[in-house]
Structure 1
Amino acid sequence: MSETLYEQVATFIENQVRDGVYRPGERLPSLRRLSRQLRVSIATAQEAYALLEDRDLLEARPQSGHYVRSEPARPPQPPAISAPLPQPTEVRVSDLAMQVIQANDRPGIVNFGAVVPMVEFPAIAQLHRTMASIARRGGAKLSSYAAPPGLPELRLQIARRAVDAGCRLSPDDIVITTGCQEALTLSLRAVAERGDVIAIESPTFYATLQTIESLGMQALEIPTHPETGISLEALELALESWPVRAVLLTPSFSNPLGYRMPDPARQQLMEMLRRHDLPLIEDDIYGDITFEPPRPRAVKSWDRDGRVLLCSSFSKTLEPGLRVGWVAPGRYLEKLKHLKLVASMATASLPQMAVAEFLEHGGFDRHLRLANAAYRRRRDRVLTLIGRHFPAGTRATCPTGGFVLWVELPRQVDALLLYRQALEHGISIAPGPLFSAKRRYRNFIRLSYANAEGDRAEDALRTLGELACALAGEAGR
């Protein structure tokens, strides 16, 4: 898609900042002067500056003008590529996962353990008003089952938005689910059976491990780089060595690493799947939460024979309580519709109708700009506090999207002990062993920064750092 005029102006200013024409802390041209310089309207100049504010490149100071933001503190170094044992294993994480999930719901907890979005945005209030209006209007559609594949108006809006991820989908290609978790579960059931081996990135989201566990399947953990994703060389070797039935990945801002797989690697992955005649379950729930546009292309966009099952939802971009997810299952469409029908009959009609109407009337992209800028600022702040308060040698990822940081602590720090101590101080975190079928990553934790704002959150991170320093044998920093 070609850039709009205000996006071209924003790119021009951004390049000037990167070339050193304007340095951190320096004042940029006024709106009137910029409009004269570039021969654009003042409104266009204003839109360009607003976009650069969203990108966190500049800040507006009342009665003064626009200034280049000061450079953020240097983030910690990222962890090394993971090195799990290359053999399938049964999964046993559900008991620990349930403990962590329940701890996140304690009253008064400072919650770095649950990956939930901010809901204090204007768009969320608008969504609530839309839902209330639909409920008042009533009608037969509201009172009936939205049987698989789900409401056509919502599937239409999803198909239109799929173009941003490089995918050409029709509404008939899509099945509505109750959240992304149901989409992933149904996809696993569509492509594999009890006892089958599923190749996954390592570390990986514990709910994915729970699903594999509940279905009686085995997980084969593959080494994964914290910035570029799963090792394709290690995956190729695993596919040649073990009877892998499917691959399940989150190529865009994975949980917990937050990596973004480069496009050439996505294409290479797609070719590998074709050679081995394997399906890919692609979890794209964080794809829209990107700090460095454009939005990543889904691996599904290179799929020519329907072997990719693309899963997502609106739980992270809008509100988790909606429980509106979806899957584009390719060649497994009919089987997945049947599985959805027998698993839960239908996803609730009211939230489907509300999301469809919200998307149709626009504003979703403006909401994403506002939300993603806020999440980026919180990521930077949390990384700064980690560098300031955590033990020497702590490493952390610096994702370019999503909500989470993967933090490697010194080897002396037991993440499970740190988790229990943090709870005693009213702080929730997710310990590393949750993210491995073999309970690896004992000195790692995952932190969610989506709601890490304000003095209370900063005090909690300081306390968490002090606890980690004590476990590492340091006096504190």
Structure 2
Amino acid sequence: MNEEHHGHVKQIESQPNSQLKRKYQYVYQWIEERIEKQSFQPGERLPSIRELSQQLSVSKNTVIRAYQQLEANQKISASARSGYRVNQTKATLFDTTPIPEPGFVDLMALSKKIMGLPVSREILPMGSAHPDTDFPAINSLYAEIGRHSRYQSHIPSHYQLPPGNDLLLQQLVGINRELGMTISKQSLLVTHGAQQAISLSLQALTNDGDIVLVESASYFGNLMLLESLNLKVIEIPASPISGIQLDALELALQRWPVKAILINPSFNNPTGYVMSTADRLRFLAMTHGIPIIEDDVFGGLAYQQRPLPLKTLDQDDRVIYCNSLSKTLDSRLRIGWVIAGKYQSVIEKRLLTDNMGSPNLIHSAVAQFLETGKYRQHLGKIRRSYAKKQKLFHNLLSQALGHYSQLQGQYHLTKPSGGFLCWLTLPENTDGQAIYQEALEHGISVLPGSMFSTNQRYAHCLRLSFANFRESNDWQRGLTQFAAIIASHTPQSS
């Protein structure tokens, strides 16, 4: 949540009324400026009347009057039981910054350096996108793996050829049904995580030097895949709230020959955005004929209902759907799957030659675990857990950042409606890489925004994970220290 410089507001209110506009107009202007600068994003819920009155040291009636005027001017809208939200106007959605020319990715060295750091020193593990595994179902899962390891020692060694373990395929059919897709076992291929599913999809769709379009910011693992395959990338700016800017996308498609689109439209990594159903339909319409790879690894972690996957809205069989159990169970399992439609045969051939079979032990054990029904119970628990953690984490970090005048009202911390990642946008002259380095020295891991783009567009941003957040003194002290580190690298505004 954004904070304002309390001293500045109090100074305003202490001046004679004859020298000032009405108080509510200052609140109006404070919100309007942040909407124009996209500190408050299109579709985002604004602070409650109580929250804003406390932030700005004004009465609730003053805030109510400002909100009413903003609504009358069609800048915000009232939502039943959820306060006010910023209107999704074309002016606030469309970024006029020119889209960079297609180019090759060069992130491998930076990513390897950051990913290779030891985790044992971490006091606050906010850098990795690994799920919280402190749940009873995870213990049951590994007990099942133990039983299968003992069993498999007594049977002949063999390869598990694609499409995968039959019982696992059956269970994945059920998981996909819960996600809104009715499919058969024959539609699925089990992969080594979603990363392999995406890699095989890119290989099936592109050749050396082809252009692939992605949203920006974009998951660094996907950018590294594009780098390894020697593909060019076009980055289309995306709102941290509503997703890829469709007007900019349309212009890019008119200008360049795009061979494929790679997109993560639900609880996006890194920003947490969710593309609305209306935007999904428009996206599919304007990209007619272009193959789409849908990365949906966080799709099962909606706190409430979420839009249907692109795959379910696809009328042309051109969306390749990729998912995994890495975010809902444990990333160490490396179990993913791809629903490739008309591209399935070519992907299956590549899968066979890449792997020459799947890890029998893990696949058979996970299949047996899924058959017990414990996975569905586990999903309910972790969704509730992450929803609670998101609120607590957001409040604690916002309070800590709000103690520094150079940050008050100058940052944006997203509030995702699913998953366990959030995106912190700081003033543009803030050095996110320096914050990352100093935080690491204090046992606080985060990821710098520079990892999520082929250019320095997000050098002032940070990706944070609250998956392992705990209501503890260690976390409270750690977030306080983290805020101090951020403030030390954020210059005072002139």
Task: Give the TM bin, normalised by the shorter chain.
Answer: 0.7 to 0.9
Shift of 1:200: 0.4
Work out which of the residue numbers 299, 324, 335 in structure 2 matches 1:313.
324
Counterpart of 2:464? 447
What letter is aligned with 1:408?
T
Work out which of the residue numbers 169, 172, 183 in structure 1 matches 2:186.
172
1:407 matched to 2:421? The reply is no
For 1:281, what is the secondary structure of its paired residue? Answer: strand
CA contact (8 A) 2:106 2:454 kept: yes
Counterpart of 1:381? 392
Work out which of the residue numbers 454, 457, 463 in structure 1 matches 2:481.
463
What letter is aligned with 2:189?
V
Per mean C-alpha deviation after superposition, the further-off stretch among 114-123 and 375-384 is: 375-384
Counterpart of 1:340? 351
CA contact (8 A) 2:122 2:444 kept: no
CA contact (8 A) 1:142 1:350 kept: no
CA distance in 2, matches of 1:386, 1:201: 27
CA distance in 1, matches of 2:393, 2:233: 32
Map 1:27-106 onto structure 2 (within 5 A).
Answer: 83=97, 85-103=99-117, 105-106=119-120
CA contact (8 A) 1:229 1:261 kept: yes
CA RMSD of aligned residues (A): 2.5
What letter is aligned with 1:377?
K
Counterpart of 1:397? 414
CA distance in 1, matches of 2:156, 2:143: 16
For 1:353, what is the secondary structure of its paired residue? Answer: helix
CA contact (8 A) 1:164 1:295 kept: no
Q: Say if 1:183 and 1:137 are closer, same or farther in 2 by CA, change over 3 A.
A: same
Counterpart of 1:420? 437
Shift of 1:106: 4.4
What letter is aligned with 1:316?
K
1:208 matched to 2:222? The reply is yes
Work out which of the residue numbers 165, 168, 174 in structure 2 matches 1:160.
174
Shift of 1:444: 0.5
Counterpart of 2:299? 287
Residue by residue, what CA displacement relative to the aligned partner does 1:169-195 show, whole Å, maximum 9, x if unpaired? 111111111111111111111111110
Q: Identity of paired residues, percent?
A: 34
Shift of 1:117: 0.5
CA contact (8 A) 2:94 2:248 kept: no
What letter is aligned with 1:459?
R
Counterpart of 2:22? none
CA distance in 2, matches of 1:370, 1:152: 28
TM norm structure 2 = 0.77
Map 1:3-42 onto structure 2 (within 5 A).
Answer: none
Shift of 1:139: 7.4
TM norm structure 1 = 0.79
Residue by residue, what CA displacement relative to the aligned partner does 1:326-353 show, whole Å, maximum 9, x if unpaired? 1111111011011112222222111111
CA distance in 2, matches of 1:412, 1:208: 27
For 1:125, what is the secondary structure of its paired residue? Answer: helix
1:431 matched to 2:448? The reply is yes
Map 1:123-142 onto structure 2 (within 5 A).
Answer: 123-138=137-152
CA distance in 1, matches of 2:481, 2:387: 23
What letter is aligned with 1:332?
Y
Counterpart of 1:118? 132
CA distance in 2, matches of 1:270, 1:164: 23
Residue by residue, what CA displacement relative to the aligned partner does 1:61-120 show, whole Å, maximum 9, x if unpaired? xxxxxxxxxx99x99xxx987757242111111111112212253434421110110111
Counterpart of 1:231? 245
- Equivalent pairs counted in the alignment come to 401
CA distance in 2, matches of 1:109, 1:141: 43
For 2:235, what is the secondary structure of its paired residue? Answer: strand
Shift of 1:140: 8.0
Shift of 1:147: 1.2
CA distance in 2, matches of 1:141, 1:164: 34
Q: Say if 1:284 and 1:170 are closer, same or farther in 2 by CA, change over 3 A.
A: same
CA distance in 1, matches of 2:400, 2:428: 17
CA contact (8 A) 1:84 1:222 kept: no
What letter is aligned with 2:384?
A
Q: Say if 1:357 and 1:91 are closer, same or farther in 2 by CA, change over 3 A.
A: same
Residue by residue, what CA displacement relative to the aligned partner does 1:210-254 show, whole Å, maximum 9, x if unpaired? 010010001100121111111222212211110100000011100
1:256 matched to 2:273? The reply is no
Shift of 1:386: 2.2
CA contact (8 A) 2:122 2:445 kept: no
CA contact (8 A) 2:421 2:464 kept: yes
Counterpart of 2:69? none
CA distance in 2, matches of 1:240, 1:104: 45
CA distance in 1, matches of 2:356, 2:246: 38
Structure 2 gap ranges (5+): 1-80, 86-91, 402-406
CA contact (8 A) 1:84 1:223 kept: no
CA contact (8 A) 2:163 2:190 kept: yes
Per mean C-alpha deviation after superposition, the further-off stretch among 354-363 and 176-185 is: 354-363
Per mean C-alpha deviation after superposition, the further-off stretch among 447-456 and 189-198 is: 447-456
